[in-house]
Amino acid sequence: MHTTCLMNGLFASGFDEKSCLSRLQSRRYRKSGTQRKPSAYLLSKLRIYEALHRHCGPYTESYNRTVQLIGSGDLSTFSSTNCKYLVWHPVHGIGNRIVSLASTFLYALLTDRVLLVDLGEDMTGLFCEPFRGSSWVMPREFPLKSLFRRNAFRFAHSVGSALKNGTLKVTEDSPEAPPFLFLNLYKGIYADADYCFYCDESQSFLSRVPWLIMLSDQYFMPSFFLIPSFKQEASKLFPEKEAVFFHLVHYLVHPSNRVWELITRFYDANLASANERIGLQVRLFKAQFRTSTVFTDQILACLLNQNLLPKIDNRSQELSSSAPRNQTTKAVLITSLYPQFYQNLSTMYSNKPTASGEVIRFYQPSHEEKQKFGDSEHNMKALVEIYLLSLCDKLVISSKSTFGYVAQGLGDTRAWILRRPGHGTNDPCVRDLSTDPCFHYPPYRTCNAAGNNNSSYVDVAEHVSYLKHCEDQNRGVKLV
Ligand code: GDP
């Protein structure tokens, strides 16, 4: 099939298919009938973006000229028609990285910036190049690269600190735009001042800065449906709000051939022949529930209450073997850093009939024991598992975990969210409101004329029909 026919025109024609098999083949592995359609406006915007990326991408004349501004700081010859860039730097795990990367790409689309990614050592070889005819990889010799991790430097050059200290003037005719600024939008260091990113006035200032460097672990996508200067355009691109992440992640994030081989090998060997596939993502932010059976009981209660698994038939061997047999099989894919949940559940069901007669099989691709940083093999396993979860027919994910959010969004499968471990078996999980990820830390203050935040609290979900508070994070919001 021709590439343009795939994903309803999401991809431009002319890709070398062999260089990225997942881009075309992943559709075959997904259940039918869930295909959301991108708007014609989004498709035309993507084609325009691709042309811009080819014109401004790494090592083009425009790129070389704009890089020089970082050293010289002389913006006198820089005009609004020159190429502007948005550099994405990874923060935290793969789930966090994918939700922030997709959000950053929408910001690039809305501001006519070129997205470059700092893949570092631990993400090299994970993904395909998304833009035909050019690379999205930030060149190794990018001048600020060694400073990305220096907190003091990042803060000194962040838009938040600069506004707070009054060193930047947020006025239309101010000549004081610097060649670069950091956008620190991540949990832990999310200083109040950095919230000014969500103010229109800051955006008008930022539009004059050639280089913006995004550091975020957040799904800040919903903010573009709130910031007045982006709201209309974002809505035009995505008339169906719940599908924003779905379209952007399917456009942008494709496992490399090596990762794709691991995904398909596991899927074909273990999941393909089952009548139904249940994905179960068990993420513990505190390891104390790892060895107790409390969380296993809660997980089982969720699976049984929601009819995702049948009960075990505890009657005598004779009675149960005379019951009518239902020959269907269910494959349960468990992903977790730990082996205990797989061991507990598979032991319960092994060699015992189920009340429905269905055969239940459990699989867990890996148990890494702990989250590792700077390890590309570890990240590869995480990506493989997120994808495998996304190929399941039904999904149970863990509260507040972006790992689960990405699986849910990619698969377009509205998941059940496990409540925090220890929540009990009466109300063990809740159905999510939509497949779009949760934005954990939305802006909660109004902006004043200077582009700073006022002190009064505002609930951003209150007056926006397509934003709701997340089931697993009270203050968070999600597109529905
Ligand atoms: P979050 O922290 O749950 O929001 O998800 P992230 O993906 O951002 O970070 C968790 C990281 O821990 C992952 O990227 C993996 O490195 C590791 N991890 C957590 N759970 C699993 C799992 O079930 N399987 C694998 N392979 N890695 C996991």
CB of residue 75 inside a 6 A radius of ligand 1? no
394 has pLDDT over 60: yes
Give the mean model confidence (pLDDT) for residues 388-398.
97
Q: Provide the pLDDT for residue 302.
A: 98
Rounded distance from Cα 96 to ligand 1 centre (Å) = 9
Q: Provide the pLDDT for residue 191.
A: 60
- DSSP string for residues in 13-30: TT--GGG-HHHHHHHHHS
Q: Which of 36-40, 97-101, 350-354, 403-407 has the lowest mean pLDDT?
A: 350-354
CB of residue 91 inside a 6 A radius of ligand 1? no
CB of residue 440 inside a 6 A radius of ligand 1? no
Nearest to 88 by CA among 130, 46, 47, 48: 130
Rounded distance from Cα 401 to ligand 1 centre (Å) = 8
Number of the ligand 1 atom closest to the C-alpha atom of 336: 23
Rounded distance from Cα 400 to ligand 1 centre (Å) = 12
Q: Provide the pLDDT for residue 73.
A: 83
- Tell me phi and psi for residue 127, to 5 degrees: -120, 160
How buried is 321 (Cβ within 10 angstroms: 0-12 exposed, 13-18 middle, 19+ buried)? exposed
Number of the ligand 1 atom closest to the C-alpha atom of 398: 3
**Calpha distance 332→351 (Å, rounded):** 16
CB 416 within 8 A of CB 395: yes
Condensed to tens digits (0 to 9), the pLDDT of residues 129-164 reads: 999 999 999 999 999 988 888 888 888 888 887 777
CB of residue 419 inside a 6 A radius of ligand 1? no
> How distant is the alpha carbon of residue 134 from its chain centre?
23
32 has pLDDT over 80: no
Rounded distance from Cα 338 to ligand 1 centre (Å) = 11
Higher pLDDT, 387 or 315: 387
CB 381 within 8 A of CB 366: yes
Nearest 10 degrees: Cα torsion 221, 225, 226, 232:
140
Condensed to tens digits (0 to 9), the pLDDT of residues 37-78 reads: 999 999 999 999 999 999 999 999 999 999 999 988 888 888
Q: Give domain limits for the chain.
A: 3-28+37-240, 257-431
Instruction: Choose the residue to mutate in 187, 262, 371 for probing ligand 1, maximizing ligand atoms within 8 Å of C-beta.
Output: 371
Rounded distance from Cα 235 to ligand 1 centre (Å) = 31
CB 330 within 8 A of CB 304: no
Rounded distance from Cα 386 to ligand 1 centre (Å) = 9
Q: Whose CA is nearest to atom 11 of ligand 1?
A: 93
CB of residue 366 inside a 6 A radius of ligand 1? yes
pTM over 0.90: yes
Amino acid at 137: V
Rounded distance from Cα 378 to ligand 1 centre (Å) = 9
Q: What share of the chain is helix, strand, coil (3-state, %, to 5)?
A: 40, 15, 45
Rounded distance from Cα 99 to ligand 1 centre (Å) = 13
This model of the complex carries an ipTM of 0.99
CB of residue 375 inside a 6 A radius of ligand 1? no
Q: Do β-strands 445-447 and 114-117 pair in parallel, antiparallel, or remain unpaired? A: unpaired
Nearest to 381 by CA among 252, 258, 249, 245: 258
Q: Provide the pLDDT for residue 310.
A: 96
What are the tokens at 217? Answer: 């672990």
Condensed to tens digits (0 to 9), the pLDDT of residues 345-363 reads: 999 999 889 999 999 999 9
Rounded distance from Cα 403 to ligand 1 centre (Å) = 6
Q: Provide the pLDDT for residue 424.
A: 86
Higher pLDDT, 174 or 137: 137
> Three-state secondary structure along 314-359?
CCCHHHHHHCCCCCCEEEEEEEECCCHHHHHHHHHHCCCCECCCCE
Nearest to 362 by CA among 348, 383, 379, 372: 348
Q: Do β-strands 329-336 and 359-363 pair in parallel, antiparallel, or remain unpaired? A: parallel
Instruction: Choose the residue to mutate in 398, 403, 441 for probing ligand 1, maximizing ligand atoms within 8 Å of C-beta.
Output: 403
What are the tokens at 271? Answer: 């999941």
CB of residue 247 inside a 6 A radius of ligand 1? no
Q: Provide the pLDDT for residue 152.
A: 85
Confidence class for position 205, pLDDT limits 50, 70, 90: confident
Condensed to tens digits (0 to 9), the pLDDT of residues 416-458 reads: 999 999 888 889 999 999 999 999 999 877 776 555 555 667 8
Nearest to 257 by CA among 11, 9, 23: 23
Q: Whose CA is nearest to atom 5 of ligand 1?
A: 403
CB of residue 92 inside a 6 A radius of ligand 1? yes
Answer yes or no: CATH 3.40.50.11350 is held by domain 257-431: yes
Condensed to tens digits (0 to 9), the pLDDT of residues 241-277 reads: 999 999 999 999 999 999 999 999 999 999 999 999 9
Q: Do β-strands 211-216 and 180-185 pair in parallel, antiparallel, or remain unpaired? A: parallel
